[in-house]
Structure formats: C-alpha cells, structure tokens
Amino acid sequence: MQVKDIMQSNVRSVKKGTTLSQLLISFKDFHSFPIVPVVDQEMVLLGTVHICSFFEIFQPHQDLLMRNPLSMISREPTDIFNVDIEEGMGFLIIMADIMDTKIVKIEQSADIRKAFDLMQLHQKTAIPVVDDQKKLVGIISIFDIVMKIFHEKGLI
C-alpha cells in the first residue's frame, strides 16, 4: 500500500514569512501542536515547524551551534519559565527563523512500511509527504498507519 492511500491531504502549511503570532493564532485551538510544513509559493517543502522549533525562540542559534559539540554550555533543557520575551517578538519572528530544515519527508508513491521505518528511525510521529517535484501533498502519521492496520483487522 502506498503512502498517498492513507495520508492526510488536507494539510495546513505556512510560508517562510508567516509570523510567530500568525502561527500561534492559527493553531491555538489544536489540543497539541502538530507538525506544520513550511512551503514556498510553489508548495515546495522548505522545512517544518514542530513543538521543538519554539525552543529556537528561547535559545537562538541552537541549530548552528549544535554542529560544534563543545559549544554546549551544558546539556540542560531550556528553562522556558525564565526567559523574557518582548511583546513585539510575535511579529518579528518569522518561520524562517525557527523552522527545522532537517527535513524528513517521504514520497507519496512510497510503501507505507517505508514511511513507518522512517518515522521509527527519526523518532517522529508524523512526516510530510511530497510528490516527485518535492511539492507538499500531505502528511502521514503513525496514527494513519495504525488506523489502517486496525481497519484491516476489523477493529473499526
């Protein structure tokens, strides 16, 4: 079975220039923050914003510095309760500043087993799905795969 058969096609994506405030307002009614694809005008996938992307706001340049292991002062988690964020930052920070460019994606024609393996390897619960021109066409999650299996087994 192919990814496109079970993926979610109705995906909310953002642009590189979308502001942090716009993003937060757009997803404030979700019960948890999903993986949000960042795309260009042609819907080509540029990156993703996920819950960990917000840490870039608390500790800027983290991605750049992680490439030098000795740049870590310690491996303590970010103390998000003790940071001062100014009001205007909601409009100043855009997706290009915080998006994760380490893209894990899958082609829509790939087998769902491959999608599952990829999510296991990268410890992701969902990944963007692209066509052969790297354009975003959907998102597939482990839940989609599990639902498919349950459906086949007659649970639902």
Partner 1 sequence: MNIILGVGIILVFGLLSGKLAEKVKTPAITAYLLLGIVFGPFMLGFISEDMLKVSGTISNIALSLIAFSIGQNFSGKIFRQVGKQVMWISILEAVGAWLITLIGLLFFKVPAYMALIFGAIAAASAPAAIIMVVREYKARGQFVDILMGVVALDDAWGLIIFSLSLAVAKAMYLDLSSSLGSMLMGAVIEIAGSFLVGGVLGIILSRIGLFLKNQTDLLIWTIGVIFVATGIALHFHFSVLLTSMFLAAVVVNLNNESFKFFDILNHIDWPIYLIFFVLAGASLEIDLLSKIGVIGIVYMIFRIVGKFLGTYLGAHIAKSDDDVKKYLSLGLLPQAGVALGMALIAKEQFPQAGNIIFTTVAATTVIYEIIGPFFVKLALHKTNQIHN
List contacts with partner 1 (CB under 8 A). Answer: 59-61, 64-76, 84, 101-104, 117, 120-123
Distance of closest approach, residue 50 Cβ to partner 1, in angstroms: 14
- Asked whether the beta carbons of 90 and 21 are under 8 A apart, the reply is yes
Torsion of CA 83, 53, 6, 119, to 10 degrees: -110
Q: Give the end-to-end CA distance of the chain in Å, rounded to a whole number.
A: 19
Distance of closest approach, residue 29 Cβ to partner 1, in angstroms: 31
SS3 64: helix
Distance of closest approach, residue 102 Cβ to partner 1, in angstroms: 4
* Residue 117 to residue 108: CA distance in whole angstroms: 15
Residue 26 or 40 having the CB closest to partner 1: 40
Residue 24 or 72 having the CB closest to partner 1: 72
Residue 77 or 154 having the CB closest to partner 1: 77
